[in-house]
Chain A
Amino acid sequence: MGKKAIRLSAAARREENWGYLMIAPTIVGLIVLNLWPFIQTIYTSFCEHLGFGNYKFIGIGNYVEMFQNPEVWRATWNTILFCILTVPVGLFLSLLVAMLLNAKIRGKGLFRTIFFLPMVCAPAAVTMVWRWIFNSDYGILNQIFGTHINWITDSKFVMIACAIVAIWSNIGYDAVLLLAGLQNISKSYYEAAEIDGTSKVNQFLQITLPMVSPTLFVVMIMRLMSSVKVYDLIYMMVEDTNPALTSVQSLMYLFYRETFVAGSRGSGAAIVVWTVALIGIITVIQFIGQKKWVNYDV
């Protein structure tokens, strides 16, 4: 390596300098804004926070405590449950919408516009109106169906309510991405299948799904990543005086409460490290798993 470096031609050296120069703003920015704080977070996870940025090194104490804390396991499960509820269901519905929009119908543009609308609305506003719709006593949802379900405050329903809002918010976005993928599929495949007399279901399984799988994979990864890190949505839907909080509290919500409300930054940092580790595991599984179902040949 060293020798090679020395023997770089003048042109290659110039190219290298340009390379460094052009990535400099981004890399410096990332190091200062993100990487360094993350390294500090890892260090903090081995410390007790005494107050105002004074730390005492305590080794793995926070981790021992964390894994003994049922609240952490509960939050981990809640996070996974949130992913299970939002990702497959969300993707299924988005794909359905995308396929319907891809059919020969009138008013395609109008439908697309409507489904995409939540994307341009601030989540702060969106969660507010959903809380109002879900309100158990005066909310329109219970009133329409004549039920009295405590959507937001019953531990059995609160996760479903949050998942509904998440899916509702993202369905248009995902559908638009998938629609772009669907539109890239050449019509000739379907025409050939039609001649062979392949059923619609088989057409879907044999043509549509494999052809759209790369887009589906990208959308799934994006959705999964943001679901594991979910915080804003739950924070705005469920306040910390809510009796059902523990049934919906995600890992990042727990991090927020530990760090900012209780002031134990050490335990908060340990939760972050645990979350990032989970993200890593999920990513690896995804990339191994994709070989089985994502079709890159087309």
Chain B
Amino acid sequence: MKRVPRMLALLLAAALMLPLSGCGSSDGKTHLTFQIWDVGQRDGMQAMCDAYTANVNPDVVIEVQVTSWSEYWTKLEAAAESNTLPDLFWMHTDQILYYSEFGMLADVTDLFPYEEHYSEISINNAQGSDGRMYGVPKDKDNICLIYNREMFDAAGVAYPDDTWTWDDLEAASQAIYDATGNYGYMAYNDEQLGYHNFVYQNGGCILTEDKTKGGFDQEATREAVKYYVNLQSYDWCPDQAYFAETTPGTAFFSGKGAMFLEGSWNLLAQMSNYPDMVGKWDVAVLPAAPDPVSGDGRATISNGLTYATGARGKHLELALDVLKYFAGEEAQRIQGESGAAIPAYEGLEETWISAFDKFDYQLDLENAIMSQFDYCVQYVNNSARPKWKSGVVDIMTSIYNGSVDIETGLDNIQNLINTETAKKLADS
């Protein structure tokens, strides 16, 4: 019987503790939240936020929070619906049109003279369908080829360079497989880190120029996808079942494979996560299509994230002020120096490269990453993208596992993109 009052006391204690563990803004400062999805960039983002507090507005404190990619969009959409968006958050090209179309994002067009400091691609990535800016350009990235130097040496093959074509990729893979028994190029079923690059190299496209139709009826596109999918039939390439259990990165850094496509945003993390591997690998430009249907055979997919804030946020004025700071040189420089990502701000690319200075081995970033911006292709997007993205992935999976033959699969992709896009255009 004596237990009951104790229980009540506990409950009382509980009631007392709940508000304590809540947001304690007892220091008289305004606390803003900043939501991102990449744990690896948390420190860099926090450094920017702290710099804002120190140099611009000491009364504002910004806390960076991380939700992993798979939960991020579930959560953000739920938050947008209930008008509880975080004060600041990252926006992705896949979603910006969808969010801006529903009026969820604050217009930041007049915040900053973007044209003076940002490339056209960066600005495009931040625009809504109406041409207004709904995000502040954050970074830019592209895809490079990453290769294991030791395996190339063992097979006596020259390292990849800008003379390489798909044929060289195959030949090197075969040679490495023969010499070392390890996988060569690991052709992973992925869009941005996979077949999209090959499609554009071959002169094809995922969406037509006006973004109203898919490009999967074009010969160049079909040829490239077929080529890419067929790579897994070689002995030197693992199949998709392998990748479902062991990602190309894991295979590469444990010495099981010689090459794979990697995004520039991951390079710093790979250097620090695998200290034993530093010096054993390097990066190169993507190989070119040997005989493209059009163009010179060179392409890499480039994307860029943006910083955004909700259109009806509680701290809209403050959030806009922070965004303005994020757009400026100082914040972009901090981002670059932290190694988080290549600043979208033109002329600050070197700050990102300097973040690699601390390592004993210097990657060939200048040639592999920076030179590729000359011919990079903007990450594919239209306002119906959220509606067809997962469908296309499913069809690609069924092409890979053989439940749909490739011709039919490509037709299905084309139909899916066209139908969803037409539906979207009719709605708006």
Contact = CB atoms under 8 A, between A and B. Distances in A.
B189 interface: yes
A48 B403 CA distance: 29
A150 B189 CA distance: 18
A229 interface: no
B240 A52 contact: no
Interface stretch (A3-11, A191-199, A255-263, A271-279): A255-263
Nearest to B81: A53
Interface stretch (A57-65, A75-83, A91-99, A131-139): A131-139
Q: Bin chain A's interface residue count.
A: 20 to 34
A93 B104 CA distance: 54
Contacts of B242: 136-137, 153
B400 interface: yes
B246 A243 contact: no
A244 interface: yes
A246 B393 CA distance: 13
A244 B401 CA distance: 8
A30 to B, nearest CB: 20
A137 B246 contact: yes
A263 B241 contact: no
A100 B106 CA distance: 67
Contact of A52 (B74, B80, B427): B80
Contact of B245 (A53, A152, A260, A261): A152
B401 A51 contact: no
A50 interface: yes
Contacts of B391: 262
A171 B77 CA distance: 39
A153 B77 CA distance: 32
Contacts of B101: 51
Main secondary structure of the interface of B (DSSP, over half): helix
B386 interface: yes
B98 interface: yes
A190 B403 CA distance: 57
Interface size classification for chain B: 20 to 34
A184 interface: no
B244 interface: yes
Nearest to B243: A241
A154 B246 contact: no
A245 interface: yes
Interface in A22-54: 50-54
Interface in B80-108: 80-81, 98, 101-102, 104
A15 interface: no
B245 A52 contact: no
Contact of B397 (A54, A245, A261): A245
Contacts of A239: 244
Nearest to B190: A241
A165 B98 CA distance: 39
Contacts of A263: 77, 386-387
A207 B285 CA distance: 75
Contacts of B397: 241, 243, 245
A154 B245 CA distance: 11
B390 interface: yes
A135 B81 CA distance: 41
A242 interface: yes
B245 A136 contact: yes
Contact of A242 (B244, B246, B387): B244
Nearest to B73: A260
B401 A243 contact: yes
A241 B247 CA distance: 11
Interface in B241-276: 241-246
A239 B241 CA distance: 11
B390 A257 contact: yes
Contacts of A154: 241
Contacts of A152: 244-245
A152 B241 CA distance: 8
Given A260-B74, A263-B387, 13 more contacts: A51-B101, A52-B77, A54-B102, A131-B245, A135-B245, A241-B393, A243-B241, A243-B244, A244-B244, A244-B401, A245-B397, A261-B390, A262-B391
Interface of B: 73-74, 77, 80-81, 98, 101-102, 104, 189, 240-246, 386-387, 390-391, 393, 397-398, 400-401, 403, 427
13 contacts: A135-B245, A137-B242, A154-B241, A240-B393, A241-B243, A241-B393, A243-B397, A243-B400, A244-B401, A245-B397, A262-B391, A263-B386, A263-B387
Give the 7 A-B CB pairs with smallest separation, nearest first.
A153-B241, A243-B401, A53-B81, A242-B244, A260-B74, A262-B390, A153-B244
